[in-house]
């Protein structure tokens, strides 16, 4: 590809936030009394604060390439003895600019972008003098590949989020990472970084972990990281320091070839288990790595570029960018329908009604994140003591794992107390109930609370399916009640459905959103409708699969019918995890509200009545496959109209499209984007689906059922 074509690519993105390459000449510190010479340090900086990560768009790469070409010429003239690359505070580089990549028009431009990156990185790898990457902070994707293309690498102990997350995003580490990393740290470790971590909630490495794997050659403290790195570089250039790379391998050796094949096989099994091979990118990472064991780096680079160009054209990639960038990174920070934050009231004390497991999780999370007093109540002292004891025990676990300091542990324990009297809520600013999911019980609780709390105190319910409006109807001040629905486990799941009933006032709602921000949760405003968003969609899905099972579809066929979607777990597994009684209770609520769209399974009820916790046996059978125990089968009866797996998938797709169409018509959320955000953050649905609505558009269900697509062309699909 020519320089003119690279410039043409850059001209397509005049509004790119360019990460500039600033060069500083530094006289290296003396080694044995003599400086090795002049060192050129390139600092990558977009000129913005730490809330705006540095990224790699076409114009950024063109500028970096121009700078590196100039440094290569200086090296040839003997003016410099080495080149280093580092970043602005907290960042090396956060990777490719996904907004740019998503906007590339057609495969040819995608190929140009891939080739541009390789062209620039090849210059860095072939300067004629040693190159160094000083990984001072976050380094993702193309950012970490800058480091991998350098001759040597140092990393800060304070650096967080080092990763090659491309398999998660829908691409491959295609600027040399997939070639260099397995040679540098061994094929097994490389697969952890390129496959296992990305597909495990996009896990990343810390600086010390990267050093331990062998990604970095030296590690230094943050306070004087660049100075220490320069001193180490001086020693390397002077020949007094030689990095040891214990994990590095030669892929041409028979022993490594066998390890390579074993790692690829293990990677394919992992991808199958995690995604059912629904998204193409993870398999492509493995394909390229498998092929490049016997390729030269130039041959691998050509394969990487072609693979990247293909993947950039997939709807799975576009859906991932939509989900990750447009939803999780952007929409989550500007919730649709949230009132003016200035209306929010201060919250200095929180009450939790109930002291069971959910209440204990809430109390712990409030205390840890908001650092305000939290008081639990329940009907007797034993329950109260158990609830407070749970919080203290969880704090002790965090302390043992060194995830919390001794001082923080002591403060958190002191913040959480308990009482058998609701009078302790008299000076609370916010009280949330976490009692049994029964409307009459919740109404009784709120009636008791209103007689105790101040007029300004906000009352909240953690209900997963009941009507907030009905809970408020007997209150003197119904405007103070808001739905505040967490997902289990509270500390882990990032979604908070904030439910506005018809009379909930703006100040109450604003305070709820402000609390969500303090709790580090993503809040989505939902209207008061049965089961809100996540549970309504999940129960519609589970209801269709269970109905097919009850009609006579074999359990293995029904439960695995949705595997092409790549969901985190099968419907029967999800039901067992949630608890069959809980799932059935919500299903009954939805059946009462919406009728036959949410059928209540008599087979499941028989299992519940007999204390059976799961359709499947707790362990797989002798052949390694799940099975239903004979005693469980004996409790159930089935119809005589079995379906194929394809039939079950098709009917479930149409059911989801119908339900989401109705939810949007009802105004449950502001738009399909909020449906998708809820499913990603509240149910762990894959990014490559785009949540749910782009998937239903892609398979034709939305048009089959509603006559239209949920998303406009180009949002999570090919532009019109």
pLDDT tens sequence across 207-243: 999 999 999 999 999 999 999 999 999 999 999 999 9
Distance of CA 627 to the CA centre of its chain: 32
State the distance between the two ends of the chain, measured CA to CA, in whole angstroms.
28
Question: Cα(491)–Cα(77) distance, rounded to whole angstroms?
Answer: 58
The yes-or-no verdict on residue 702 having pLDDT over 70 is yes
pTM of the predicted model as reported, rounded to 2 decimal places: 0.91
Q: What is the pLDDT of residues 265-279, one digit of tens each?
A: 999 999 999 999 999
Mean predicted confidence (pLDDT) in 366-391: 97
Q: What is the pLDDT of residues 30-79, one digit of tens each?
A: 999 999 999 999 999 999 998 899 999 999 999 999 999 999 999 999 99
5 or 399, which is more confident? 399
Mean predicted confidence (pLDDT) in 289-300: 97
Q: Report the length, in residues, of the chain.
A: 720
Q: What is the pLDDT of residues 68-95, one digit of tens each?
A: 999 999 999 999 999 999 999 999 999 9
DSSP string covering 278-329, please?
-SSHHHHHHHHHHHHTTS-HHHHHHHHHHHHHHHTTSHHHHHHHIIIIIIII
Task: Give the range among 443-452, 553-562, 614-623 with minimum mean pLDDT.
Answer: 614-623
Q: Is 26 helix (H, G, I), strand (E, B) or coil?
A: strand
Question: Cα(320)–Cα(152) distance, rounded to whole angstroms?
Answer: 33
Question: Cα(270)–Cα(258) distance, rounded to whole angstroms?
Answer: 18
Question: Cα(715)–Cα(322) distance, rounded to whole angstroms?
Answer: 7
| Confidence band, pLDDT 50/70/90 cuts, at residue 720 | low
| Average confidence score pLDDT of the chain | 95
Mean predicted confidence (pLDDT) in 302-310: 97
Q: Quick one: tokens of 640? A: 């005589």
The yes-or-no verdict on residue 3 having pLDDT over 70 is no
Mean predicted confidence (pLDDT) in 108-135: 96
Distance of CA 418 to the CA centre of its chain: 35
pLDDT of residue 509: 98
Bridge partner list, 454: none
pLDDT of residue 622: 86
Reduced DSSP (H G I as helix, E B as strand, rest coil) percent helix, strand, coil of the chain, to 5: 50, 10, 35
Q: What is the pLDDT of residues 167-216, one digit of tens each?
A: 999 999 999 999 999 999 999 999 999 999 999 989 999 999 999 999 99
Q: What is the pLDDT of residues 567-600, one digit of tens each?
A: 989 999 999 999 999 999 999 999 999 999 999 9
pLDDT of residue 1: 53
The yes-or-no verdict on residue 422 having pLDDT over 80 is yes
pLDDT of residue 2: 59
717 or 442, which is more confident? 442
The yes-or-no verdict on residue 7 having pLDDT over 80 is no
Q: Is 457 helix (H, G, I), strand (E, B) or coil?
A: coil
DSSP string covering 130-191, please?
-EEEEE-SEEETHHHHHHHHSSEEEEETT---EE--HHHHTS--TTTHHHHHHHHH-HHHHH
The yes-or-no verdict on residue 8 having pLDDT over 80 is no
Question: Cα(143)–Cα(140) distance, rounded to whole angstroms?
Answer: 5
pLDDT of residue 73: 97
Q: What is the pLDDT of residues 463-520, one digit of tens each?
A: 998 999 999 999 999 999 999 999 999 999 999 999 999 999 999 999 999 999 999 9
Q: Is 524 helix (H, G, I), strand (E, B) or coil?
A: strand
Report whether 309 contacts 114 (CB < 8 A).
yes
Bridge partner list, 353: 377, 433
598 sits in the region (left: phi over 0; alpha: psi -120 to 50; else beta) called beta
Q: At what angle do helices 297-311 and 106-125 cross, to 10 degrees?
A: 150
| Confidence band, pLDDT 50/70/90 cuts, at residue 9 | confident
User: According to the 3-state scheme, what is the secondary structure of 329-380?
Assistant: HHHHHCCCCCCCHHHCCCCCCEEEECCCHHHHHHHHHHHHHHCCCEEEECCC
pLDDT of residue 643: 98
pLDDT of residue 342: 96
């Amino acid at each position: 590809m020519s320089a003119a074509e690279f410039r043409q690519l850059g001209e397509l993105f005049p509004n790119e936030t360019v990460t500039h390459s600033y060069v500083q000449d530094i006289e290296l510190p003396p080694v044995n009394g003599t400086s090795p010479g002049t060192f050129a340090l390139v600092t990558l900086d977009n000129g913005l604060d730490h809330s705006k990560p540095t990224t790699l768009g076409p114009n950024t790469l063109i500028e970096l390439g121009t700078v590196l070409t100039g440094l290569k010429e200086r090296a040839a003239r003997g003016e410099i003895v080495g080149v280093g690359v580092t970043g602005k505070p907290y960042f090396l580089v956060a990777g490719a600019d996904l907004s740019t990549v998503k906007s590339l028009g057609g495969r040819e431009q995608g190929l140009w972008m891939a080739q541009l990156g390789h062209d620039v990185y090849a210059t860095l790898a072939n300067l004629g003098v040693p190159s160094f990457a000083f990984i001072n902070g976050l380094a993702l994707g193309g950012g970490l590949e800058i480091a991998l293309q350098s001759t040597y690498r140092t990393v800060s102990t304070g650096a967080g989020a080092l990763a090659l997350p491309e398999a998660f995003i829908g691409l491959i580490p295609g600027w040399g990472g997939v070639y260099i990393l397995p040679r540098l740290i061994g094929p097994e470790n490389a697969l952890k970084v390129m496959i296992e971590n990305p597909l495990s909630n996009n896990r990343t490495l810390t600086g010390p972990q990267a050093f331990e794997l062998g990604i970095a050659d030296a590690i230094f403290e943050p306070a004087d990281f660049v100075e220490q790195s320069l001193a180490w570089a001086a020693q390397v250039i002077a020949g007094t320091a030689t990095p040891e790379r214990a994990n590095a391998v030669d892929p041409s050796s028979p022993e490594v070839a066998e390890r390579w094949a074993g790692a690829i096989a293990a990677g394919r099994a992992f991808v199958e288990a995690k995604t059912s091979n629904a998204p193409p990118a993870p398999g492509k990472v493995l394909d390229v790595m498998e092929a490049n064991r016997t390729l030269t780096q130039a041959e691998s680079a050509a394969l990487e570029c072609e693979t990247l160009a293909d993947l950039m054209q997939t709807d799975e990639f576009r859906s991932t960018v939509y989900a990750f960038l447009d939803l999780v990174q952007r929409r989550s920070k500007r919730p649709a329908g949230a009132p003016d934050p200035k209306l929010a009231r201060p919250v200095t004390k929180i009450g939790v009604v109930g002291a069971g497991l959910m209440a204990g999780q809430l109390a712990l999370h409030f205390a840890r994140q908001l650092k305000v007093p939290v008081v639990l109540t329940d009907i007797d002292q034993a329950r109260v003591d158990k609830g407070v004891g749970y919080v203290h025990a969880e704090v002790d676990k965090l302390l043992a794992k060194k995830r919390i300091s001794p001082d923080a542990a002591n403060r958190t324990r002191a913040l959480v107390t308990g009482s058998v009297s609701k009078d302790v809520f008299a000076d609370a600013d916010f009280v949330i109930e976490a009692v049994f999911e029964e409307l009459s019980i919740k109404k009784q609780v709120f009636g008791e609370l209103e007689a105790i709390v101040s007029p300004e105190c906000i009352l909240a319910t953690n209900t997963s399916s009941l009507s907030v409006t009905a809970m408020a109807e007997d209150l003197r001040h119904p405007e103070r009640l808001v739905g505040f629905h967490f997902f289990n486990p509270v500390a882990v799941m990032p979604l908070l459905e904030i439910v506005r009933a018809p009379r909930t006032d703006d100040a109450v709602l604003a305070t709820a959103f402000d609390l969500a921000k303090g709790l580090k949760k993503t809040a989505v405003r939902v209207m008061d409708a049965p089961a809100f968003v996540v549970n309504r969609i999940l129960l519609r899905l589970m209801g269709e699969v269970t109905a097919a099972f009850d009609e006579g579809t074999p359990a293995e066929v029904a439960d695995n019918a949705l595997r092409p979607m790549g969901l985190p777990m099968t419907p029967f597994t999800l039901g067992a995890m949630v608890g069959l009684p809980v799932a059935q209770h919500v299903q009954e609520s939805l059946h009462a509200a919406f009728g036959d769209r949410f059928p209540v399974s008599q087979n499941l009820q028989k299992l519940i009545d007999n204390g059976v916790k799961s359709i499947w046996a707790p362990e797989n059978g002798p052949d390694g496959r799940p099975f239903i125990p004979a005693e469980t089968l004996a409790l159930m009866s089935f119809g005589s109209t079995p379906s194929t797996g394809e039939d079950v998938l098709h009917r479930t797709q149409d059911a989801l499209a119908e339900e989401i169409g109705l939810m949007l018509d009802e105004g449950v959320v502001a738009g399909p984007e909020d449906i998708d955000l809820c499913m990603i953050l509240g149910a762990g649905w894959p990014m490559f689906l785009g949540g749910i609505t782009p998937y239903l558009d892609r398979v034709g269900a939305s048009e089959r059922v509603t006559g239209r697509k949920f998303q406009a062309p180009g949002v999570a699909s090919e532009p019109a």
